[in-house]
Amino acid sequence: MSHFTDEAFQLIAAHLKALADPLRLRILDQIRDEPKYVKDIVRAVAATQPTVSKHLGILRRAGIVETERNGTLVQYRIRDPRVCELCDLLMETVVRRLERDSSAFAGAVHD
């Protein structure tokens, strides 16, 4: 990645920082397949409306989600589906590590 400028590294870090919260990841998981209204996201993630709105604002400012207004209701959707691919890749990495670590632990217990 040495061909990136310092500004590019800053942008990448800001993007990753916006993703670095379990609730924000759960929110993204809820809207990965179709746009949803805030009230539906609130219900799905079992958080308060102000909390969900705060996290959606962070994701919006980072350019990860975008909105569409329908009267007084606001619908959120993921701006670029590659964000979901990134999350899926990270999940696969975590699962592999957990499987490897649990196998190593199981071997140590039986020794």
| pLDDT tens-place string over residues 70-82 | 899 999 999 999 9
How many domains does the structure of the chain reveal?
Answer: 2
**Alpha-carbon gap, residue 26 to 11, rounded angstroms:** 23
| pLDDT tens-place string over residues 48-65 | 999 999 999 999 999 999
* Domain range for 59: 1-79
**Alpha-carbon gap, residue 74 to 96, rounded angstroms:** 38
| Radius of gyration over every alpha carbon of the chain, rounded to an integer in angstroms | 18
Tokens 């958080």: give the residue: 47
Do 57 and 34 lie in a common domain?
yes
pTM of the entire structure? 0.83
Return the CATH number at 40.
Answer: 1.10.10.10
